[in-house]
Protein backbone atom coordinates (compact mmCIF):
# COMPACT_ATOMS: atom_id res chain seq x y z
CA UNK A 1 0.00 0.00 0.00
CA UNK A 2 2.90 2.33 0.73
CA UNK A 3 4.41 1.60 -2.64
CA UNK A 4 1.14 2.46 -4.38
CA UNK A 5 0.61 5.61 -2.31
CA UNK A 6 4.15 6.81 -2.98
CA UNK A 7 3.81 6.23 -6.71
CA UNK A 8 0.88 8.60 -6.60
CA UNK A 9 2.88 11.30 -4.87
CA UNK A 10 2.16 10.65 -1.21
CA UNK A 11 4.90 10.50 1.38
CA UNK A 12 3.67 7.33 3.07
CA UNK A 13 0.96 4.82 3.85
CA UNK A 14 1.72 3.83 7.42
CA UNK A 15 0.52 1.97 10.47
CA UNK A 16 0.33 2.26 14.23
CA UNK A 17 2.30 -0.40 16.08
CA UNK A 18 3.60 -1.38 19.52
CA UNK A 19 6.62 -3.43 20.60
CA UNK A 20 4.58 -6.28 22.16
CA UNK A 21 3.25 -6.97 18.66
CA UNK A 22 6.73 -7.75 17.33
CA UNK A 23 6.42 -11.24 18.86
CA UNK A 24 4.10 -12.42 16.10
CA UNK A 25 6.28 -13.31 13.14
CA UNK A 26 3.54 -12.84 10.53
CA UNK A 27 2.70 -9.44 11.97
CA UNK A 28 6.35 -8.46 12.03
CA UNK A 29 6.95 -9.48 8.43
CA UNK A 30 4.12 -7.20 7.27
CA UNK A 31 5.35 -4.41 9.53
CA UNK A 32 8.92 -4.63 8.24
CA UNK A 33 7.82 -4.48 4.62
CA UNK A 34 8.40 -0.90 3.55
CA UNK A 35 6.51 -1.50 0.31
CA UNK A 36 3.47 -2.08 2.54
CA UNK A 37 4.01 0.45 5.35
CA UNK A 38 6.16 3.52 4.88
CA UNK A 39 5.57 5.06 8.29
CA UNK A 40 5.23 3.82 11.87
CA UNK A 41 3.57 5.46 14.87
CA UNK A 42 3.73 4.05 18.40
CA UNK A 43 0.27 3.39 19.83
CA UNK A 44 1.30 4.09 23.40
CA UNK A 45 5.02 4.11 24.05
CA UNK A 46 5.62 7.80 23.33
CA UNK A 47 2.82 8.86 25.67
CA UNK A 48 3.57 10.77 28.85
CA UNK A 49 2.94 7.92 31.32
CA UNK A 50 5.50 5.76 29.51
CA UNK A 51 8.15 8.37 28.69
CA UNK A 52 8.15 10.22 32.03
CA UNK A 53 6.77 7.88 34.72
CA UNK A 54 8.27 10.03 37.50
CA UNK A 55 9.06 13.73 37.67
CA UNK A 56 12.76 12.96 37.23
CA UNK A 57 12.42 9.57 35.54
CA UNK A 58 12.61 9.08 31.78
CA UNK A 59 12.04 5.86 29.85
CA UNK A 60 12.57 5.87 26.12
CA UNK A 61 13.32 2.15 25.71
CA UNK A 62 10.05 0.99 24.15
CA UNK A 63 9.70 3.90 21.76
CA UNK A 64 13.37 3.63 20.83
CA UNK A 65 12.73 0.09 19.59
CA UNK A 66 10.05 1.37 17.22
CA UNK A 67 12.19 4.28 16.04
CA UNK A 68 15.14 1.92 15.47
CA UNK A 69 12.96 -0.47 13.50
CA UNK A 70 11.66 2.34 11.31
CA UNK A 71 15.19 3.61 10.76
CA UNK A 72 16.38 0.12 9.85
CA UNK A 73 13.49 -0.38 7.43
CA UNK A 74 13.69 3.09 5.89
CA UNK A 75 10.27 4.08 7.24
CA UNK A 76 9.14 7.51 8.42
CA UNK A 77 8.15 8.04 12.04
CA UNK A 78 5.00 9.79 13.15
CA UNK A 79 5.69 10.64 16.77
CA UNK A 80 2.64 10.62 19.04
CA UNK A 81 2.08 12.54 21.32
CA UNK A 82 3.38 15.27 23.64
CA UNK A 83 0.46 16.95 25.41
CA UNK A 84 -2.84 15.13 25.95
CA UNK A 85 -5.34 14.68 28.78
CA UNK A 86 -5.10 10.88 28.84
CA UNK A 87 -2.41 8.34 29.75
CA UNK A 88 -0.71 10.77 32.11
CA UNK A 89 1.37 9.49 35.07
CA UNK A 90 -0.05 9.61 38.60
CA UNK A 91 2.53 12.11 39.89
CA UNK A 92 1.37 14.58 37.26
CA UNK A 93 -2.39 14.05 37.61
CA UNK A 94 -2.34 13.97 41.42
CA UNK A 95 0.12 16.80 41.90
CA UNK A 96 -1.00 20.20 43.14
CA UNK A 97 0.16 22.57 40.47
CA UNK A 98 0.12 26.27 40.01
CA UNK A 99 0.22 27.81 36.57
CA UNK A 100 3.92 28.53 36.61
CA UNK A 101 5.00 25.09 37.86
CA UNK A 102 2.77 23.17 35.52
CA UNK A 103 3.89 25.24 32.55
CA UNK A 104 7.52 24.49 33.44
CA UNK A 105 6.76 20.76 33.76
CA UNK A 106 5.00 20.74 30.39
CA UNK A 107 7.83 22.59 28.65
CA UNK A 108 10.39 20.27 30.23
CA UNK A 109 8.48 17.21 28.99
CA UNK A 110 8.08 18.59 25.49
CA UNK A 111 11.69 19.68 25.13
CA UNK A 112 13.21 16.49 26.52
CA UNK A 113 11.08 14.13 24.48
CA UNK A 114 11.43 16.08 21.24
CA UNK A 115 15.17 16.46 21.82
CA UNK A 116 15.57 12.73 22.42
CA UNK A 117 14.06 12.02 19.00
CA UNK A 118 15.47 15.06 17.24
CA UNK A 119 15.98 14.37 13.55
CA UNK A 120 14.07 11.07 13.72
CA UNK A 121 10.44 12.15 13.58
CA UNK A 122 8.89 13.21 10.31
CA UNK A 123 6.09 14.67 12.41
CA UNK A 124 5.14 15.23 16.05
CA UNK A 125 1.58 15.28 17.34
CA UNK A 126 2.29 18.18 19.68
CA UNK A 127 -1.19 18.42 21.14
CA UNK A 128 -3.82 15.72 20.97
CA UNK A 129 -7.61 15.96 21.28
CA UNK A 130 -7.74 19.41 22.86
CA UNK A 131 -11.45 19.87 22.10
CA UNK A 132 -14.42 18.45 23.98
CA UNK A 133 -15.52 14.97 22.95
CA UNK A 134 -19.00 16.11 21.93
CA UNK A 135 -18.87 17.00 18.20
CA UNK A 136 -21.58 19.61 18.84
CA UNK A 137 -19.36 21.42 21.30
CA UNK A 138 -16.47 23.15 19.61
CA UNK A 139 -14.80 24.51 22.73
CA UNK A 140 -11.57 23.54 24.45
CA UNK A 141 -11.71 20.54 26.76
CA UNK A 142 -11.55 21.28 30.45
CA UNK A 143 -8.49 19.35 31.61
CA UNK A 144 -5.50 20.14 33.81
CA UNK A 145 -3.76 21.97 30.96
CA UNK A 146 -6.64 24.32 30.21
CA UNK A 147 -7.80 24.68 33.80
CA UNK A 148 -4.41 25.49 35.29
CA UNK A 149 -2.44 27.08 32.43
CA UNK A 150 -5.22 28.42 30.21
CA UNK A 151 -5.66 28.17 26.41
CA UNK A 152 -2.13 29.41 25.85
CA UNK A 153 -0.78 26.00 26.88
CA UNK A 154 -1.33 24.94 23.27
CA UNK A 155 0.83 27.61 21.63
CA UNK A 156 3.45 27.20 24.37
CA UNK A 157 3.73 23.48 23.58
CA UNK A 158 4.18 24.20 19.86
CA UNK A 159 6.69 26.94 20.51
CA UNK A 160 8.96 24.67 22.55
CA UNK A 161 8.57 21.67 20.25
CA UNK A 162 9.69 23.92 17.39
CA UNK A 163 12.68 25.05 19.37
CA UNK A 164 13.69 21.46 20.20
CA UNK A 165 13.42 20.12 16.64
CA UNK A 166 13.27 22.77 13.92
CA UNK A 167 12.79 20.13 11.19
CA UNK A 168 9.98 17.96 12.58
CA UNK A 169 6.55 18.87 11.25
CA UNK A 170 4.38 19.98 14.14
CA UNK A 171 0.81 18.71 14.15
CA UNK A 172 -2.38 19.22 16.06
CA UNK A 173 -4.15 15.83 16.09
CA UNK A 174 -7.92 15.62 16.64
CA UNK A 175 -10.96 13.41 16.04
CA UNK A 176 -14.50 14.12 14.85
CA UNK A 177 -13.24 17.03 12.77
CA UNK A 178 -13.49 14.96 9.56
CA UNK A 179 -17.12 16.06 9.21
CA UNK A 180 -18.63 19.53 9.34
CA UNK A 181 -19.94 20.92 12.59
CA UNK A 182 -18.97 22.81 15.74
CA UNK A 183 -15.99 20.58 16.59
CA UNK A 184 -14.57 20.91 13.07
CA UNK A 185 -14.96 24.71 13.35
CA UNK A 186 -13.46 24.65 16.82
CA UNK A 187 -10.37 22.89 15.49
CA UNK A 188 -9.95 25.60 12.86
CA UNK A 189 -10.09 28.18 15.66
CA UNK A 190 -7.37 26.30 17.54
CA UNK A 191 -5.15 26.44 14.45
CA UNK A 192 -5.77 30.17 14.07
CA UNK A 193 -5.06 30.73 17.76
CA UNK A 194 -1.63 29.09 17.36
CA UNK A 195 -0.92 31.05 14.19
CA UNK A 196 -2.06 34.32 15.78
CA UNK A 197 0.40 33.69 18.61
CA UNK A 198 3.12 33.77 15.94
CA UNK A 199 4.03 30.13 16.58
CA UNK A 200 4.75 27.47 13.96
CA UNK A 201 2.14 24.80 13.27
CA UNK A 202 2.66 22.68 10.14
CA UNK A 203 -0.09 20.14 10.07
CA UNK A 204 -3.47 18.88 11.16
CA UNK A 205 -4.11 15.21 11.90
CA UNK A 206 -7.52 13.77 11.06
CA UNK A 207 -7.70 10.72 13.32
CA UNK A 208 -10.52 9.12 11.31
CA UNK A 209 -11.78 6.48 13.74
CA UNK A 210 -14.95 5.70 11.83
CA UNK A 211 -17.97 3.41 11.77
CA UNK A 212 -19.85 2.64 8.54
CA UNK A 213 -23.07 4.24 9.76
CA UNK A 214 -21.60 7.54 10.92
CA UNK A 215 -18.60 8.15 8.64
CA UNK A 216 -18.59 11.25 6.44
CA UNK A 217 -18.66 10.59 2.70
CA UNK A 218 -15.91 11.39 0.22
CA UNK A 219 -17.03 14.94 -0.60
CA UNK A 220 -17.51 15.95 3.03
CA UNK A 221 -14.07 14.62 3.97
CA UNK A 222 -12.51 16.52 1.08
CA UNK A 223 -14.33 19.71 2.04
CA UNK A 224 -13.15 19.35 5.63
CA UNK A 225 -9.58 18.77 4.49
CA UNK A 226 -9.72 21.88 2.32
CA UNK A 227 -10.82 24.02 5.28
CA UNK A 228 -7.52 23.20 6.99
CA UNK A 229 -5.21 23.26 3.98
CA UNK A 230 -6.69 26.71 3.21
CA UNK A 231 -5.23 27.79 6.55
CA UNK A 232 -1.81 26.92 5.13
CA UNK A 233 -1.41 23.52 6.79
CA UNK A 234 -0.46 20.12 5.47
CA UNK A 235 -2.67 17.29 6.57
CA UNK A 236 -2.55 13.59 7.37
CA UNK A 237 -5.07 10.87 8.09
CA UNK A 238 -3.49 9.71 11.32
CA UNK A 239 -5.45 6.91 13.01
CA UNK A 240 -7.69 5.37 10.39
CA UNK A 241 -9.82 2.40 11.40
CA UNK A 242 -13.44 1.45 10.71
CA UNK A 243 -15.07 -0.54 13.48
CA UNK A 244 -18.19 -2.58 12.80
CA UNK A 245 -20.90 -3.94 15.04
CA UNK A 246 -20.21 -7.63 15.64
CA UNK A 247 -21.00 -10.17 14.40
CA UNK A 248 -19.99 -9.01 10.93
CA UNK A 249 -21.99 -9.53 7.74
CA UNK A 250 -21.01 -9.25 4.07
CA UNK A 251 -22.98 -5.99 3.89
CA UNK A 252 -21.12 -4.49 6.83
CA UNK A 253 -17.75 -5.49 5.42
CA UNK A 254 -18.72 -3.88 2.15
CA UNK A 255 -19.76 -0.67 3.91
CA UNK A 256 -16.49 -0.79 5.80
CA UNK A 257 -14.64 -1.01 2.49
CA UNK A 258 -16.52 2.06 1.23
CA UNK A 259 -15.47 4.08 4.28
CA UNK A 260 -11.82 3.07 3.98
CA UNK A 261 -11.82 3.83 0.26
CA UNK A 262 -13.58 7.21 0.69
CA UNK A 263 -11.00 8.23 3.27
CA UNK A 264 -8.05 7.15 1.16
CA UNK A 265 -9.51 8.89 -1.89
CA UNK A 266 -10.14 12.09 0.08
CA UNK A 267 -6.43 12.13 0.92
CA UNK A 268 -5.40 11.23 -2.64
CA UNK A 269 -7.57 14.07 -3.99
CA UNK A 270 -6.11 16.57 -1.52
CA UNK A 271 -2.68 17.68 -2.62
CA UNK A 272 -1.57 18.74 0.82
CA UNK A 273 -2.65 15.47 2.44
CA UNK A 274 0.82 13.95 2.80
CA UNK A 275 -0.08 10.47 3.98
CA UNK A 276 -2.39 8.04 5.72
CA UNK A 277 -1.80 5.88 8.78
CA UNK A 278 -4.04 3.01 9.87
CA UNK A 279 -4.41 2.47 13.63
CA UNK A 280 -2.97 -1.00 13.16
CA UNK A 281 -3.69 -3.47 10.39
CA UNK A 282 -4.59 -6.75 12.15
CA UNK A 283 -7.90 -7.29 13.99
CA UNK A 284 -6.22 -9.57 16.50
CA UNK A 285 -4.19 -6.66 17.90
CA UNK A 286 -6.61 -3.78 17.43
CA UNK A 287 -7.45 -1.54 20.37
CA UNK A 288 -11.11 -2.14 19.46
CA UNK A 289 -12.58 -5.61 20.01
CA UNK A 290 -14.03 -8.01 22.58
CA UNK A 291 -10.92 -7.82 24.80
CA UNK A 292 -11.37 -4.08 25.36
CA UNK A 293 -15.18 -3.83 25.32
CA UNK A 294 -15.16 -2.76 28.94
CA UNK A 295 -12.92 0.17 27.94
CA UNK A 296 -14.14 1.38 24.57
CA UNK A 297 -16.67 0.75 21.82
CA UNK A 298 -18.61 -2.09 23.43
CA UNK A 299 -19.87 -4.52 20.79
CA UNK A 300 -17.60 -3.28 18.01
CA UNK A 301 -14.58 -4.90 16.37
CA UNK A 302 -12.98 -6.03 13.11
CA UNK A 303 -11.83 -2.47 12.48
CA UNK A 304 -8.58 -3.24 10.64
CA UNK A 305 -7.43 -4.37 7.18
CA UNK A 306 -6.75 -8.02 8.03
CA UNK A 307 -9.02 -10.48 9.86
CA UNK A 308 -7.52 -12.29 12.86
CA UNK A 309 -6.79 -15.28 10.58
CA UNK A 310 -4.78 -12.99 8.27
CA UNK A 311 -7.32 -13.02 5.43
CA UNK A 312 -7.43 -9.66 3.70
CA UNK A 313 -10.64 -7.69 4.16
CA UNK A 314 -12.58 -6.26 1.23
CA UNK A 315 -11.28 -2.96 2.66
CA UNK A 316 -7.72 -3.99 1.88
CA UNK A 317 -8.39 -4.83 -1.74
CA UNK A 318 -10.58 -1.75 -2.03
CA UNK A 319 -7.75 0.52 -0.92
CA UNK A 320 -5.35 -1.33 -3.19
CA UNK A 321 -7.44 -0.55 -6.23
CA UNK A 322 -8.17 3.01 -5.09
CA UNK A 323 -4.45 3.77 -4.79
C1 LIG B 1 -5.19 4.27 22.07
C2 LIG B 1 -4.31 3.03 22.03
O3 LIG B 1 -4.41 2.42 20.76
C4 LIG B 1 -4.74 2.07 23.11
O5 LIG B 1 -3.88 0.95 23.17
C6 LIG B 1 -4.76 2.78 24.46
O7 LIG B 1 -5.26 1.91 25.45
C8 LIG B 1 -5.61 4.04 24.39
O9 LIG B 1 -5.15 4.86 23.35
N10 LIG B 1 -6.84 8.58 19.91
C11 LIG B 1 -5.47 8.68 20.05
C12 LIG B 1 -4.66 7.47 20.37
O13 LIG B 1 -4.91 9.76 19.81
O14 LIG B 1 -3.55 7.79 21.17
C15 LIG B 1 -5.50 6.41 21.03
O16 LIG B 1 -4.70 5.24 21.16
C17 LIG B 1 -6.76 6.15 20.22
C18 LIG B 1 -7.60 7.38 20.16
- Residue 47 CA, closest ligand 1 atom number: 14
pLDDT of residue 64: 99
Domain ranges of the chain: 2-322
Average pLDDT in the chain: 98
pLDDT of residue 236: 99
Residue 239: active-site member: yes
| Average pLDDT, integer, range 192-215 | 98
| Average pLDDT, integer, range 14-22 | 98
Residue to probe by mutation, ligand 1, list 15, 40, 41, 44, most atoms within 8 Å of CB: 44
Identify the residue whose C-alpha is closest to ligand 1 atom 5: 287
Task: Compute, in angstroms, the gap from residue 70 CA to the centroid of ligand 1.
Answer: 20
pLDDT of residue 73: 98
Count of CB atoms situated within 10 Å of the CB of 94: 8
Banded pLDDT at 306 (limits 50, 70, 90): very high
Banded pLDDT at 136 (limits 50, 70, 90): very high
| Average pLDDT, integer, range 72-90 | 98
pLDDT of residue 192: 98
pLDDT of residue 67: 99
- Residue of 183, 165, 182, 77 lying closest to 129 (CA atoms): 183
Task: Compute, in angstroms, the gap from residue 43 CA to the centroid of ligand 1.
Answer: 6
pLDDT of residue 193: 98
The string of pLDDT tens digits covering residues 251-289 is 999 999 999 999 999 999 999 999 999 999 999 999 999
Question: Which residues neighbour 94 within 8 Å (Cβ) at sequence distance 6 or greater?
Answer: none
Banded pLDDT at 68 (limits 50, 70, 90): very high
The C-alpha angle 301, 11, 174, rounded to 5 degrees, equals 50
Residues β-bridged to residue 173: 128, 205
List residues near ligand 1 (CB under 6 A).
Answer: 43-44, 128, 207, 239, 287
- Residue 279 CA, closest ligand 1 atom number: 3
pTM of the shown model: 0.98
CA distances 280 to 20, 82, 256, 288, Å, are 13, 20, 15, 10
Question: Which position among 113, 174, 178, 239 bears the catalytic label?
Answer: 239
Whether the ipTM is more than 0.85: the answer is: yes
Banded pLDDT at 204 (limits 50, 70, 90): very high
- Residue of 100, 92, 116 lying closest to 150 (CA atoms): 100
The string of pLDDT tens digits covering residues 145-190 is 999 999 999 999 999 999 999 999 999 999 999 999 999 999 999 9
pLDDT of residue 211: 98
pLDDT of residue 285: 98
Proportion of the chain above pLDDT 70, given as a percent: 100
Provide CATH code, domain 2-322. 3.20.20.80
Banded pLDDT at 48 (limits 50, 70, 90): very high
- Residue 80 CA, closest ligand 1 atom number: 14
pLDDT of residue 36: 98
| Average pLDDT, integer, range 111-128 | 99
170: left (phi over 0), alpha (psi -120 to 50) or beta: beta
pLDDT of residue 289: 97
The rounded distance, in Å, linking the Cα atoms of 169 and 161 is 10
Amino acid sequence: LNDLAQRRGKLYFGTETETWEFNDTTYLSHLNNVREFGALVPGNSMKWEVIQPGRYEWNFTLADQIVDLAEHNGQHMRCHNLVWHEQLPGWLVNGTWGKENLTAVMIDHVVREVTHYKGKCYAWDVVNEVLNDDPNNGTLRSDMWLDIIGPEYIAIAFEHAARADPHAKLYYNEYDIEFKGPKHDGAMKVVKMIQDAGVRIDGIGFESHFTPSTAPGLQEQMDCMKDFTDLGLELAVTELDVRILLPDSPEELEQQETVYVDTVEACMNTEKCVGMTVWDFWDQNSWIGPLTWDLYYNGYGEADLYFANWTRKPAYTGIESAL
